[in-house]
Amino acid sequence: MPMTSDAPPTAVAALDIGGTKMAACIATASGPLLRVVQPTLTSGTPDTIARQGLRLIDECCQQLQIDPAVLKSVGVSSCGPFEVRDGATGIIPPNLCGGLTNRDDLPNDWTFLPLESVLRERFSSVRSVRIANDCVAALHGERAFGIAPANAIYVTWSTGIGFGLCVDGHILHGKAGNAGHAGHMLLSETSQALCGCGNRGDLEGMVGGRNFGKHLGKSLELIFSDAQRGDVSALDAVHDAARWFGRALYNLTTILDTEAIFIGGSVWRHNETLLAPLVQREIGDRFPALTRGVTVQSTTLGELVTDMGAFALVMPAGWITDWRAHRPWETLRSVPLT
């Protein structure tokens, strides 16, 4: 006779905090069960972001009729950069903190958002809470569930631009978890494009989704749709953006001796057909000794790459083989919340 148990199955949560949207997802050994998504809040007290994350986890649990008390761990992929204050990690994302520079479109004066302290207060010490930069987490996801080799870059081209870097099988974290914030590397001496970090002429200031097009007085969506129709000035803007983005990837490839580059993020996802050959050219046309054979492709996990990365941070290692075999995330249901 088979043994039965009334104990609830082990469940883990993934929380993905982005500059535009936030998602929470719950998984058991069989795979992710449900994902709820909501626009990231930008007003209120500085703990608004962390508390929104808790509410989304609760909402996901409620829809699944799972008691949040049974969650064994919470993996968080979050936009950064991070700063540790009073022993707990918080975030200072330029695209959410209106107390930094370039604040015209942000209705707050935030300069630091507590995260770990709020999550740990709710999820007591017996359960693990692990936070990683979203692109670092994404690379953990690509390594666990995709095809990223030991020397790989993950890059998101979204509201902001960020990177995850893997060298010799080691995903880089850095002194505060901020390795890969190359969206803030200075590229242009002449551009006046202002990034939320205060730089003028850094990669994110020039081509990040929040900033791209400001100098033309057009939205990003309009520029890309005009470019698709052959509008010359829009095409020039897209070519410029792809050139800066591709050069950044070339530079990182030369530094890290990279084998494969995986790209995600909404700007890339919606405009891949136009951008991919332009970006590929910036890398493949340069110094063959360093770039020969380097592959550039979209993330194999699509829009879920950061969610899967958050799971990869905390899920039991024994689940990974089964998930890789059955790819349960491909049928995951996403529920948008207003």
Residue among 167, 144, 147 at smallest CA distance from 309: 144
> How many residues interact with Zn ion (rule CB under 5 A)?
6
19 part of the interface to Zn ion, by CB under 5 A: no
Neighbours of 252 (CB within 10 A): 19
Which residue's entry shows tokens 């003028």?
Answer: 200
Q: How far apart are CA 257 and CA 290, in angstroms?
A: 7
140 part of the interface to Zn ion, by CB under 5 A: no
Shortest CB 197 distance to Zn ion, Å = 3
**Among the listed residues 184, 187, 262, 275, the single contact to Zn ion using CB under 5 A:** 184
- Which residues are 336's β-sheet partners? 37
Choose the binding region for Zn ion from 110-118, 190-198, 211-219, 323-331 (rule: CB under 5 A).
190-198
96 part of the interface to Zn ion, by CB under 5 A: no
Shortest CB 59 distance to Zn ion, Å = 33
> CA quadruple 141, 147, 150, 156: dihedral positive or negative?
negative
Residue among 261, 148, 295, 275 at smallest CA distance from 209: 275
Provide DSSP, 88-108. EEEE--TTT-TTSSS-TT---
**Single-letter code of the amino acid located at 306:** T
Burial of 260 per CB tally in 10 Å (0-12, 13-18, 19+):
buried
> Are the beta carbons of 135 and 311 closer than 8 angstroms?
no
Choose the binding region for Zn ion from 9-17, 160-168, 177-185, 271-279 (rule: CB under 5 A).
177-185
Nearer to Zn ion, 129 or 203 (CB): 203
Shortest CB 222 distance to Zn ion, Å = 24
Q: Which of residues 200-219 bind Zn ion (CB under 5 A)?
A: 202, 204
Nearer to Zn ion, 53 or 208 (CB): 208
143 part of the interface to Zn ion, by CB under 5 A: no
Choose the binding region for Zn ion from 193-201, 226-234, 284-292, 294-302 (rule: CB under 5 A).
193-201
User: Which residue has the CB atom at the shortest distance from Zn ion?
Assistant: 195
Choose the binding region for Zn ion from 53-61, 178-186, 247-255, 262-270 (rule: CB under 5 A).
178-186
95 part of the interface to Zn ion, by CB under 5 A: no
> Are the beta carbons of 163 and 183 closer than 8 angstroms?
yes
Q: Which tokens in the block code for residue 239? A: 């070519």
131 part of the interface to Zn ion, by CB under 5 A: no
**Among the listed residues 14, 136, 195, 283, the single contact to Zn ion using CB under 5 A:** 195
199 part of the interface to Zn ion, by CB under 5 A: yes
35 part of the interface to Zn ion, by CB under 5 A: no
Shortest CB 93 distance to Zn ion, Å = 11
Which residue's entry shows tokens 């991070």?
Answer: 82
Nearer to Zn ion, 157 or 329 (CB): 157
226 part of the interface to Zn ion, by CB under 5 A: no
Which residue's entry shows tokens 């010490």?
Answer: 125
Neighbours of 4 (CB within 10 A): 6
Choose the binding region for Zn ion from 36-44, 196-204, 215-223, 269-277 (rule: CB under 5 A).
196-204
178 part of the interface to Zn ion, by CB under 5 A: no
For residue 109, which phi and psi values (nearest 5 degrees)? -120, 30
Shortest CB 156 distance to Zn ion, Å = 14
**Single-letter code of the amino acid located at 190:** T
HSE-CB of 37 using CA atoms within 13 angstroms: 14
| Contacts of residue 163, Cβ cutoff 8 Å, sequence gap at least 6 | 135, 153, 154, 155, 156, 180, 181, 182, 183, 252
Nearer to Zn ion, 197 or 220 (CB): 197
Q: How far apart are CA 164 and CA 115, in angstroms?
A: 21
**Among the listed residues 197, 294, 304, 315, the single contact to Zn ion using CB under 5 A:** 197
Interacting residues with Zn ion (CB under 5 A): 184, 195, 197, 199, 202, 204
